[in-house]
Amino acid sequence: MKTAFIYTNKYLKYTPPDNYPWSVRRAEATYNLCKRLGLLDHPWITVHQPSPLAQEALYNFHTKAYVSLLKEANDGHFKEEWLRYGLGTTECPVYKGVYEYNLLTAGATMDGAKLVKEGHVERAFNVCGGFHHAGKDFAAGFCYINDVVLAIKSLLSHYTRVMYVDIDAHHGDQVQQAFYSTDRVLTISFHQDPKTLFPFEGGDEKEAGRGKGRGYCINVPMAPGTGDDEFLWAFGEIFVPAAGAYKPGVVVAVTGVDGLATDPLSNLKLTTKAYTEAVEIICRYSPKLLVLGGGGYSLEHSSAAWTLLWATINGLGCSDEDMVSFGGAFWGDGICSLQSSPIFVSEKERKQTRNHLSRVVRRLKNEVLSLIK
């Protein structure tokens, strides 16, 4: 098996406003941690330097009018009329280089798709990708260009069936929307119930696809406070049979780690255990796999979690002992443990979140999973 870690220091050239949560520093920190721990040194691993995407490639999803606005925004001067396209908000600010930055991150995801599609690697990882909220003509939720939709569209030229799995704390709304009426893409999103978190609508289990796409869209909304045991139970109940029935040629995964209990932007109570075990299962069901980072708003915890996910993608153990053996020399250098500390979830909260999730899972099993042929 060959794998590619996609990264360039050029990401660091672009500087969104101070305190902007989607920091390119997370990609840098993940790359540095992986490097320090020897997780990029194996003979089957390549570090791939991405190239910016050509403007024309954006038109496979985005409208020409929107792309031209985003291009104009590249000099950093805001125009009030752009607000209707979601540009210039606190979530999607206009700043110098905003267009170039998005061409580069989308290019990184598309390079990953290409490496997989052309058979150079079986698994590719772009930590600086997964902008699942960008619409065809608007920016939203830190996302300007939907690299996920672009990558899936390019994979559809080679594979009959693409499965998209999203374990970011937020609903993968615009990816779902883009493939809502087709059976060639199965979208599965596990997320905090949008009634309680951005994007504040949709993402419930009743949204299950339309027309030919009926049954090829699965949503697993989780109540605030959901912890590892409940999430992993639902993941096993839904993802495993769905992937087994669908038999995709390739899988695209958004592994936003903003569901970690330590994350400032969500209210889930997951730890790295939930993420590494879910990604291990995803790997098992993916003949080919493109993994994108997604959200994650604590620099330290996000980069630690993605480092563990990179180890998982490569079939390497990710216990603390394994990490010591990968890079023991660095262990005393400020890294205590990549694993999350255990999280306390009270019995009352556990019961509430479990009841909520049981209802969702039951409904999906009765009404949606059997539609996958």
Residues known to be catalytic: 133
**Closest CB 258 distance from Zn ion, rounded Å:** 4
Q: Which stretch binds Zn ion (CB under 5 A): 20-28, 62-70, 258-266, 273-281?
A: 258-266
Q: Which stretch binds Zn ion (CB under 5 A): 36-44, 107-115, 214-222, 253-261?
A: 253-261
CA distance 296 to 168: 8
**Closest CB 168 distance from Zn ion, rounded Å:** 4
CA distance 269 to 232: 12
Q: Which stretch binds Zn ion (CB under 5 A): 65-73, 111-119, 257-265, 283-291?
A: 257-265
**Closest CB 91 distance from Zn ion, rounded Å:** 12
Q: Which stretch binds Zn ion (CB under 5 A): 44-52, 207-215, 255-263, 351-359?
A: 255-263
Record the tokens describing residue 91, joined without a space. Answer: 């979530």
Candidate list 107, 135, 256, 327; residue touching Zn ion; CB under 5 A = 256
Interface positions, 34-73, toward Zn ion (CB under 5 A)? none
Q: 242 Cβ partners below 8 Å, 6+ apart?
A: 163, 186, 188, 218, 369, 372
Contact 99, 118 (CB under 8 A): no
Contact 94, 82 (CB under 8 A): yes
Q: 322 Cβ partners below 8 Å, 6+ apart?
A: 311, 316
Interface positions, 289-318, toward Zn ion (CB under 5 A)? 295
Exposed, middle or buried: residue 267 (CB in 10 Å: 0-12, 13-18, 19+)?
A: middle
Question: For the packed helices 98-117 and 147-155, what is the interaxial angle rounded to 10 degrees?
Answer: 30
For Zn ion, the closer of residues 37 and 188 by Cβ is 188
**Closest CB 147 distance from Zn ion, rounded Å:** 14
CA distance 262 to 259: 8
Exposed, middle or buried: residue 14 (CB in 10 Å: 0-12, 13-18, 19+)?
A: middle
Closest C-alpha to 41, from 336, 311, 284: 311
For Zn ion, the closer of residues 266 and 340 by Cβ is 266
**Binding map of Zn ion across residues 99-118, x = CB under 5 A, - = no contact:** --------------------
Interface positions, 143-202, toward Zn ion (CB under 5 A)? 168-170
For Zn ion, the closer of residues 168 and 228 by Cβ is 168
Is 227 a binder of Zn ion (CB under 5 A)?
A: no
Number of amino acids touching Zn ion (CB under 5 A): 6
Candidate list 122, 230, 258, 263; residue touching Zn ion; CB under 5 A = 258
**Closest CB 265 distance from Zn ion, rounded Å:** 7
Integer Rg of the chain from CA: 19
Binding site for Zn ion (CB under 5 A): 168-170, 256, 258, 295
